[in-house]
Amino acid sequence: MGICGLTKLLRRHAPNCLRHIDNLREAICGRHCIIDTAIYMHMFNYKTDLATCIDRLVEMSDHIKILGGHPLFVFDGANVPEKGGTQRARKAQREKTMEDTLADIALLERVKFDTTLSLIDWLNQKAEIIERLQHKCVCVGFEEYVPVTAPSRLNFAEIQARFNDHNIPWITAETEAERDCAIIAKYILSRAIIAKHILGTQIIMPIVMTQDMDAITFGAPLVMRDLSLTDLKKASCKTSAHKAKSFFIQTRALLNELGMNLAMFTDLCILMGCDFTGHFCGPETALKHIRNHRSIENMELKGHDFINVDYKSARAIFKEPEKMRTVMVKWNGSDITLDDYLDMKHK
C-alpha cells in the first residue's frame, strides 16, 4: 500500500517532482538500481506460477545490466510489529479472494453442464464467470482455471538460490525492504558526493525501484515507479530512445514544491495513512493540517484527537537510523560488505 492517496496528491500539488521517462536507457545507464524484490515478485506472479515469476526477476536483472545499470535486490527482513494490523487485513483479503475464486471455479463447472438454461443465458453466465476468473487464475485448458497463489516470504529462499546461480547481488533488509532501499540509496548518494569533492567525479543518483510510496517517506532521493518488464525488454532491444510508462519521483523537488522539510512530510504521510497506522484523514485535509500546524504535536495542542493513531511509533520507524548498519551483499557466491561491493562496481 505505502501511503494512501500520495500519488494523486503529488500530481495536484507537486507535479514537477514527477518526471516521466522519455529514454529508459539513459534513465538507467550508470545508476545503481535498488530493487524492492517483493513488489516485483507480486507483479510478475500475476496469472502465472512461481517458477515463471523467478525467471522474470532474473530477466529483469539481465535487462537492467544490458541498459548499463547495476541491480541490487532487497528482500524483506523481520516483520515490524506496528504493521501487524495491515498484514492481518491483507491476509483476510487474500483469503476472501481465494474463497471467491474457488466458488467461481465450481460455479463455472455447474454452468457448463446446466441444460436448463437457454443458449443466451448459458453463454452470458459463462462469459461473466470467465471474465472474473481471468483476473485471478491461470488458464490451464479450455475453460479450465487454477487459482494463483500469491508469493510470500516462504518463496524468498528459492529466489535467492536462483540469484546466486546467476551472480545477481541481493541483500536481506533489517525490517522493511523499502526502508533499506532508501537507506542504501542515500548512502550511495553520500559516497558519490564525497567522491565529487575529492576526485571531481560526476554525481550519479541511485534509483529505488518500487511501487510503495513510503520509500519516499523513508527518504529515498529518487524513486522509479511503474517499471515493467516489457519496457525493459523494448529498451534493451532498441538503440533509439524508448519512452516507457514509468516515471521518477524526486524527493527534493517534492519537498520544495510542497514547502516542507522531511519531518513535516513524514507527519503528512502518517495523517494520510501508512502501513504502521490507521487512516486518520484524506490527503487534502492532511495537507491543510500540516501546512497550518507544521506537526502533529501542534495539531494536538489545537484540540485534535490522536488517541487511535500511534504516530510516534510510526515516525520512529520512518526516521533515518543514527548509524548505518553493516550491510552484507550476497554476490558471486560470497558475502561482501556494501562498501566493497560498491568499490568493485566502480572499478
How would you write the pLDDT of the chain (347 residues) with one tens digit per residue? 578 899 999 999 999 999 999 889 999 999 999 999 999 988 887 556 778 889 999 999 999 999 999 999 999 988 765 565 565 666 666 667 777 777 877 888 888 887 787 888 878 888 888 777 766 676 656 667 767 666 667 789 999 999 999 999 999 998 889 999 999 999 999 988 888 888 888 889 999 999 999 999 999 999 999 999 999 998 888 765 667 789 999 999 999 999 999 999 999 999 898 888 877 788 999 999 999 998 888 887 777 766 566 788 888 888 876 667 788 999 987 899 998 898 886 65
| 164 domain-assigned | no
Task: Provide DSSP, 84-119.
Answer: HHHHHHHHHHHHHHHHHHHHHHHHHHHHHT--SS-H
Q: Would 38 be classed as within a structural domain? A: no
Q: Is residue 107 part of a domain?
A: yes
Domain boundary among 147, 176, 191: 147
| 265 is a domain residue | yes
Count up the domains in the chain and report the number.
Answer: 2
pTM of this structure: 0.83
* Residues of the domain holding 91: 86-147
Is 281 inside a domain boundary?
Answer: yes
Look up cell 510478475; give the residue: 44
Residue 8 included in any domain:
no
CA 81 to chain centre: 20
Q: What whole-number distance in Å separates Cα of residue 70 and Cα of residue 63? A: 10
Boundary residue ending a domain (100, 122, 147):
147
**Helix spans in the chain (H):** 6-13, 24-28, 37-44, 50-66, 84-112, 119-134, 156-165, 177-199, 214-217, 229-237, 251-258, 262-272, 283-293, 296-301, 311-318, 338-346
* Domain membership flag for residue 101: yes
CATH of the domain at 267: 1.10.150.20
Strands 144-147, 170-172: pairing kind: unpaired
Are 71 and 168 in contact, with CB atoms under 8 Å apart?
A: yes
For residue 126, how many C-alpha atoms fall within 13 Å in the half-sphere facing its CB?
Answer: 17
Closest CA to 232 of 57, 89, 75, 99: 57
End of a domain among 102, 125, 147? 147
How far apart are the C-alpha atoms of 15 and 270, rounded to whole Å? 21
Task: Determine, yes or no, domain membership for 47.
Answer: no
